[in-house]
């Protein structure tokens, strides 16, 4: 089973390394020490925890919707023509590009710099394994 260092886990969870350390110190996520005294998180434990925090509802913004893949980010670009709009959202290291109607973009008053959720609902998802350093 793969193990992840605190910094790697923080990137995958979209939080700071200090946040992961606080969670570990508080018992929310289990870590182990390697021979050099560095903390690691078991891959299965990290996956379990990622699902747990992703499922936690936001008390400030409760909502109900069928799409489960939501990525909070910042709008970086909006390009409109007569019928359609291309909206780019940066969420951590992830860039999402949405093609929506111009009417929807106008109603949402989308402009660069505002917060928005990229809501993803797909019938197929590809899987890629990154090269190991």
CATH of the domain at 113: 2.40.50.100
CATH label of the domain that carries residue 35: 1.10.1660.10
Task: Show the domain range for 9.
Answer: 3-55
Q: Is residue 129 part of a domain?
A: no
Q: Is residue 63 part of a domain?
A: no
**How many C-beta atoms surround the C-beta of residue 41 within 10 A?**
25
Q: What is the mean pLDDT of the chain?
A: 85
pLDDT per position as a tens digit, 104-117? 999 999 999 888 88
Q: Is residue 85 part of a domain?
A: yes
What is the count of structural domains for the chain? Answer: 2
Which of 92, 100, 59 is CA-nearest to residue 74?
A: 92
What is the DSSP-derived secondary structure letter of residue 57?
A: P
Q: Is the pLDDT score of 66 beyond 90?
A: no
What is the per-residue pLDDT for 48? 85
**43 and 78 part of one domain:** no
Q: Is residue 41 part of a domain?
A: yes
What is the per-residue pLDDT for 68? 66
Cα distance between residue 55 and residue 57, in whole Å = 6
Q: What are phi and psi of 111, to 5 degrees?
A: -145, 150
What is the per-residue pLDDT for 7? 92
Confidence of residue 60 (pLDDT cuts 50, 70, 90): low
- Which has more confidence, 62 or 35? 35
Q: Is the pLDDT score of 24 beyond 80?
A: yes
Task: Return the CA Rg of the chain.
Answer: 18
Q: Is the pLDDT score of 95 beyond 60?
A: yes
């Amino acid at each position: 089973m793969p193990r992840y260092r605190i910094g790697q886990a923080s990137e995958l969870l979209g939080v700071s390394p200090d946040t992961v350390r606080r969670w570990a110190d508080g018992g929310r996520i289990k870590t182990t020490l390697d021979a050099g005294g560095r903390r690691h998180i078991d891959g299965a434990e990290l996956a379990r925890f990622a699902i747990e925090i992703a499922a936690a509802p936001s008390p400030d913004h409760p909502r109900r919707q069928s799409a489960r893949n939501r990525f909070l980010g910042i709008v970086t670009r909006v390009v409109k023509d007569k019928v359609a709009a291309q909206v780019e959202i940066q969420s951590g290291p992830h860039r999402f590009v949405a093609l929506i109607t111009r009417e929807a973009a106008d109603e949402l008053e989308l402009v660069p710099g505002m917060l928005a959720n990229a809501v993803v609902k797909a019938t197929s998802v590809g899987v890629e394994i990154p090269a190991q350093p």
